[in-house]
Amino acid sequence: MPHLQETLDISSYAALGDSFTEGLNDPGVDGAFAGWADRLAGLLAAGRPQNRFRYANLAVRGRLLDQIAAEQVPQVERLQPDLVTFCAGGNDILRPGSDPDEVAVRFEAAVARLAANAGTVLICTGFDTREMTLLKHLRGKVATYNGHMRAVADRYDCKVADLWSLRSVQDRQAWSEDRLHLSPEGHQRVALLAARSLGLRTEQDPEAPWPAAPVLSPADQARENIQWAREHLIPWVGRRLRGESSGDHVEAKRPDLLPL
């Protein structure tokens, strides 16, 4: 059975962020999305007496860093959890003309507040986007932002889940049909990485080989790309042009620390 090292005792956990931490596109048993943070909570709770582990997930899809700092960070001051995971800034980096140096300054301000109100803070670096159709041109900006986040983690003694170095998520099977959000198994790989970053021993390996996937012919690949553009790319671009967010009118799925 997995267990934490004796130096890290976690009985309450609050997850902050955007769609990545909310859990798109990992369907949960109750109709809400699950995702890597829910899966991490399950690993942390394993082996504890019933109702001795509490979990909150404040993440909302589409949220920018300043929105997370204004809406979610103050809740941590109220909740005072043993652990906070803070994955934010990705939606800012996606925006044309964004400056990763400037985003990192605001990121550090939020981390400083979190570090004062949580026992442990874990941050996630950005993914390596070299294989991501929509985002490969942002690879340099993501790498720059990652460098800043690692420096912030050092200054505030944060744990780091290094998604950039997680080779398994370079596989197409780690991503859902929209190519922007993880698949259920992709979320599981991130949960395992986060757990190990906290010192949790896990039986499963986040870098375990993927099962063999069918190889698409060029014609089938072209049809898949056309379908993806119609169902996911065009609506995404439309929302950007209209100034809309996928998180408009969406509330946190688990706003309070409750037994898992």
In-domain check, residue 2:
no
pLDDT at residue 6, rounded to an integer: 41
In-domain check, residue 1:
no
Q: What is the domain-level CATH number for residue 248?
A: 3.40.50.1110
Distance of CA 169 to the CA centre of its chain: 13
Tell me the C-alpha to C-alpha distance, in Å, between residue 49 and each of 52, 53, 102, 152, 233. 6, 8, 44, 35, 45
Specify whether the CB–CB gap between 205 and 242 falls below 8 A: no
In-domain check, residue 3:
no
In-domain check, residue 5:
no
Count how many residues are written for the chain: 260
Residue 170: give the domain boundaries: 12-259
Specify whether the CB–CB gap between 97 and 138 falls below 8 A: no
Distance of CA 80 to the CA centre of its chain: 21
Number of domains comprising the chain: 1
pLDDT at residue 233, rounded to an integer: 62
How many Å apart are CA 104 and CA 80, to the nearest integer? 24
Q: Where are the alpha helices (DSSP H) in 46-129?
A: 65-71, 73-79, 90-94, 100-115
Query: What is the model's pTM?
Result: 0.89
In-domain check, residue 147:
yes
| 85-100 tens-digit pLDDT | 999 999 999 888 999 9
Sign of CA dihedral 159, 162, 166, 172: positive
CB atoms within 10 A of CB 48: 14
Question: Which of the residues in the chain have pLDDT under 70?
Answer: 1-8, 179, 216, 220-249
Give DSSP secondary structure letters for 211-237. Answer: PP-PPPPHHHHHHHHHHHIIIIIHHHH
Q: For residue 247, which phi and psi values (nearest 5 degrees)?
A: -95, 5
In-domain check, residue 76:
yes
Query: How large is the C-alpha radius of gyration of the chain?
Result: 18
Angle (CA) 28 8 164, round 5°:
60
How many Å apart are CA 23 and CA 37, to the nearest integer? 7
For residue 87, give the 3-state DSSP assignment: strand
pLDDT at residue 247, rounded to an integer: 60
